[in-house]
A and B are shown apart, each in its own frame.
Chain A
Amino acid sequence: MESMEIAEKLQNHFSEEVLDICDFHGQVGVVVKRERIVDILRWLRDSPEIKMDHLMDLCGVDNKKRQGKNLLRLEVVYNLYSIPLRHSIRIRAQVPENDAAIDTVTTLWCGAEWPERECFDLVGISFTGHPDMRRILLPDDWVGHPLRKEYPLKGREEWSGLEELKHKVVQLQEFGLSDGILRTKEGQTQTKGNEES
C-alpha cells in the first residue's frame, strides 16, 4: 500500500488526532497529537492491511528553530515499517515544552525501551509508564539535555563528577594503580583513551 493511502486511512480513523500530513521524497510523515499515540501505533501495528510490525527508529526532536505549522516545542518521531507488506510511514507526535511527557510504546515493542531512554537523556522528553526511566548515555548526575537547541556545543564548565574522579586518582596512586586507568599530566587529569575514541 502506498504510504499516502495509509496516512489517509489513519486520518479517517483518528480524525481528531491527526494534525497534518507531509510528503517529502516519497516518504510520508503524519503529525499527530500526543494523547492517543499508543492507540494510533497499536492500530497501525495490528490492522491486517497495514501491519507495521517493525519499529525502525524512535527519536526525539527539538522544534525550537524549526519552521512549520502545527508544531509544538518537542516532537517524538516513530519510523515504522511493515516487513510482510513492505511499506513504511512516519508518525510525529507533538509534545509541549511545559509538560514534556508522552506515553511509552514499550507495551507494543519492548525494544523501544532503550530508544526512549535515549530520547529522555538527550532531548528531555519523559515517557509515562516506562519501566526504567533513567539516563542511558550520559552520567546520571548530568545537567541538561544536549540535543535541545539552547544547549551549547561546547560548555564552559567541567562535568561535576570530575572532582570525585580526580580524588579517586589520588587514592589509587597510593597503591600504584593509577597508571592503567588515569594519567595526570601537567596538573590536568585526562581519561586515557578519550582522544583515540
Chain B
Amino acid sequence: MTRPITKTVEVPVADGDGERYTLKMGPQHPATHGVLRVDLELDGETIIKCSPQVGYLHRGFDKIAENRTYAQSLILTDRLDYIAAMANNVGYCVAVEKLLDVSVPLRAKYIRTIVCEMSRIASHLLWLATHALDIGAMTVFLYCFREREVMLDLFEELCGARLTFSYPRIGGVRQDVTRNFIDVLQRFVAEFPMHIEEYETLIDTNRIWLKRTVGIGVLSATEALELGLTGACLRGSGVDYDIRKHRPYDAYDLVDFEVPISDDGDIYARYRCRMEELRQSARIIQQCIDQLPPGPIISEDAPDLVMPLQGQRKVEAGSSTYGTGLIRLLEEKGEFPVGDIYVSTEVPKGELGFYFISDGSGRPYRMHMRSPSFIHIGALPALAEGSMIADLIANIGTLDVVLGECDR
C-alpha cells in the first residue's frame, strides 16, 4: 500500500516468533463502540496491518433523502450520531437554511446554540466514560453518567425525547424553552466546572492513565490534516480549526469562548482538549442564558414539518388546519433555488458537512453528508499500525467515533 504518510512501522520487541496471524476484532466487540470490525494482522502483540470494515449500519441516507422534501429529511439526521443528535439536527437545519435563504430569529439562534453545547457536553461525557472504561478506569464511567443524565432529562423536558430529538426546525426551533429548563440548566452550568475537576482528580495524573495515553497514537499536524481529521483530534495535534470560529453559525459569533489546542498530538493531548471543551461549553451556555433575547422562535417563511404554532404563523385562507408550511413544501413549485452548497458545522465529533445540490424541485437532487466518524475510522490504520494490540482500544476511543454516523 502506498500510504503517503510514512509512519515508521518498527516492531519494538520481537515478541512473536515471526509468524503472522490475523484476528478479526468485532463487530460485536464492546470496545469498538458499535458495529465496527477491525481485521488485524499481528506479529505477537504488535499490529502489522489494521483494516477497519464498516457498513454494518448502512441505511442509505443519501438515497432516502433524495426522495424526501427538505423538512422530511430532518428526522434522518437524528439517526446519524445518536449520542449528540441535537448537534446533527442543528447542522442539517443550518445547511438547509443557507440553501433556501431562510433567516432565523435571534432567540432561536440562542436556543440552538444552547442545545448544541448541551449535546456537546452529553457526547463528551459519554466519550470520557467509555474511553476511560476501555482503558481500565471504571469509576469515571459512573461519575460521567451522573451528569449526562441531567442533560438527557433537560432534553426530555424541552422536546419529549431523550435520544432522537428532531427539536430544531428549518428556520428556528419547535418549542420555546421553559422557565424551569433555564433554572435547572443555570444550576447545572454553575456547578459543572466542579464536576470536571472531579473527573480530573480521578485520571489526570493517574499513573496508569498516563502510561496508556501519553506518547501513544501520536499524529503530527501535517499528518492529521492529510488524514482529514477534524474536531478535537485535529486540535490535539496543534491545528487551530474550529468551525464555530472559522465560519460562525447560529449565535457563536455573539458569545465569547476559547478553542483549546494542544501541540503534543497524542491520546493525552486529545483528552485534555476535550476536557477544556467541556469547560468552554459551560461558559457558552452561561452567556447564552444571560443574553437570551425575547421574540419569535421560528421564522415566518420556514417550511414546517407539521403544525405551525398557533397564533404565531400565518395561516392562509382555504388551507387546512395542518398548516401552510407542509402544503407549501409539498407543492414544490418554483420557490426553490437551483445550485449547490456545502455547509458544515462543528459537532462534538468533528466537522459535519452537508453538500446539497438543488434542482429547484423541493427535494435535494443530491445530498451528501460528510460525517466525521467515517473519516476518523479511515485514519485508524495510521494510528494503530506498529503499535500494540492493547493500544488499539485506546486509539479507537480517542478518535471518538459513532458507527451510526460512519455508516449512514
Query: Footprint of B on A, CB under 8 Å?
Result: 22, 24-25, 27, 29, 53-57, 59, 61-62, 65-67, 77, 79, 83, 86, 88, 90, 106-115, 118, 122, 131-132, 136-139, 146-147, 151, 153, 197
Contacts and interface: CB of A to CB of B under 8 A. Distances in A.
Given A137-B58, A138-B55, A110 B226 contact: yes
A111 B378 contact: yes
A197 B57 contact: yes
Contacts of A25: 98-99, 101, 337, 339, 341
Interface string B269-299: 0000000000000000000000000000000
B120 interface: no
A176 to B, nearest CB: 18
Nearest to A122: B62
Contacts of B337: 24-25
Contact of A65 (B3, B67, B226, B359): B359
B227 A27 contact: no
B79 A197 contact: yes
Task: Identify which of B3, B98, B353, B366 gathers the most chain A CB atoms within 10 Å of its CB.
Answer: B366
Contacts of B3: 110, 131
Contacts of A153: 63-64, 67
Contacts of B366: 59, 61-62, 147
Contacts of B79: 197
B54 interface: yes
B359 A67 contact: yes
Interface of B: 1-5, 54-55, 57-60, 62-64, 67, 79, 98-99, 101, 225-229, 239-241, 246, 337-342, 344, 351, 353, 355, 357, 359, 365-366, 368, 370, 374-375, 377-379, 382, 404, 407-408
A113 B241 contact: no
A153 B60 CA distance: 10
Contacts of B226: 108-111
Nearest to B339: A24
Nearest to B62: A147
Contact of A111 (B60, B240, B379): B379
Contacts of B341: 24-25, 27
A112 B228 contact: yes
B340 A90 contact: yes
Contacts of A55: 228
Task: Identify which of B5, B228, B407 gathers the most chain A CB atoms within 10 Å of its CB.
Answer: B228
Contacts of B246: 83, 86
B365 A57 contact: no
A112 B240 CA distance: 21
Nearest to A152: B63
A108 B5 CA distance: 10
A57 B342 contact: yes
Given A22-B339, A111-B228, A122-B62, A65 B365 contact: yes
A6 to B, nearest CB: 15
Contacts of B55: 136-139
Contacts of A112: 228
B370 A57 contact: yes
A116 B241 CA distance: 24
Contacts of B375: 111, 114-115
Given A59-B368, A131-B3, 9 more contacts: A24-B337, A29-B340, A57-B368, A61-B366, A83-B246, A90-B342, A110-B226, A112-B228, A138-B55
B62 A66 contact: no
Nearest to B379: A111
A72 B154 CA distance: 50
16 contacts: A24-B340, A29-B340, A55-B228, A57-B368, A66-B359, A79-B355, A83-B225, A83-B239, A88-B342, A110-B4, A111-B375, A114-B374, A114-B378, A131-B1, A147-B63, A153-B67
Task: Identify which of A77, A112, A137, A153 gathers the most chain B CB atoms within 10 Å of its CB.
Answer: A137
Nearest to A23: B339
Contact of A132 (B1, B240, B353, B355): B1
A118 to B, nearest CB: 7
A54 B58 CA distance: 26
A111 B227 contact: yes
A56 B99 contact: no
Contacts of A54: 225, 228, 241
